[in-house]
Structure 1
Amino acid sequence: MPRLNNPSPSPSRKREGNPTRQAAEASGRRGERLAGWWLRLKGWRILARRVRTPAGEVDLVAKKGNLVAFVEVKTRKTAAELDFAIDERRLARVAAAAEYLMPSYADPGDDIRVDVILIAPGTRPRHIENAWLP
């Protein structure tokens, strides 16, 4: 098989070299850590972080009593941008991933929901409970 002289980088390698993408990734990870901290202060136990499935990724899986929340975390530079950070398509992806993950994290009889935590500098995290209702 002939070798290409200039093979194009894989999509993941393209993202790794982009400074803007790297900054966004770092900001997102900080937001996820803050969201986990926020949930723990509210009595939640963090079961998992950044869980990938064939259906999508869930940022946090948290449990409080018999309630398991699959949490999408969105971090933005300003509070005004938070109003546009989440949409139905993104929530549907998280819900699909949550369905895939339920057997791994939920016990029989547990209630399940999809939550969103919105984070911007200078504001308290905004926790939207039960954000997805199909």
Structure 2
Amino acid sequence: MKRTAATRRQAEQRGRKGERFAQIWLALRGWRTLAKRVRNPRGKVDLVMRRGNVVAFIEVKWRRDAEQLDHAIDMYRLRRVAAAAEACAHDYVMPGEDYRIDVMLVAPGQIPRHIVNAWQP
């Protein structure tokens, strides 16, 4: 199915809404936002969050229904997020701190699923 500019725009708006929801969800659990939508030549990271001495580079996936979330993330996407995180980690991670790649799966009417340390090369 070919996506039109309007459907791409709608998907982008839903994705940003999912990112805002994930950001608020994590903030209520003690995470502090360091950056949003970080882009570099190696990829994009949706959220960079810190709690204590851990910095999480977070990929957010929003789907219309929870059943679609099971297939929202794959190794290709995780590898791209990991590459983007590695390229910019020096901007957010201080010496002695840990960092990881997390995934937030978001669907309307569902409690978000936070997959901790989703990427382990």
What TM-score comes out, normalization by structure 2 length? Answer: 0.96
By relative contact order (CA 8 Å, sep 6+), the higher-ranking structure is 2
Aligned to 1:78: 65
Aligned to 1:25: 12
Report Cα offsets for 1:75-102 as digits up to 9, x if no partner: 0011000000000000000000111111
Aligned to 1:53: 40
Identity of aligned residues (%): 60
User: Structure 1: any 5+ residue segments left out of the alignment?
Assistant: 1-14
Q: Does 1:125 align with 2:112?
A: yes
Q: Does 1:63 align with 2:50?
A: yes
- SS of 1:99's partner is helix
Aligned to 1:92: 79
Task: State the 1:18 CA deviation.
Answer: 1.1
- SS of 1:116's partner is strand
Q: Does 1:108 align with 2:110?
A: no
Aligned residues: 119
Higher Cα radius of gyration: 1
Q: Which amino acid in 2 is paired with 1:85?
A: A
Distance (whole Å) between structure 2 residues aligned to residue 52 and residue 20 of structure 1: 22
Consecutive aligned runs of 4 or more in structure 1 exceeding 4 Å deviation: none
User: Structure 2: any 5+ residue segments left out of the alignment?
Assistant: none
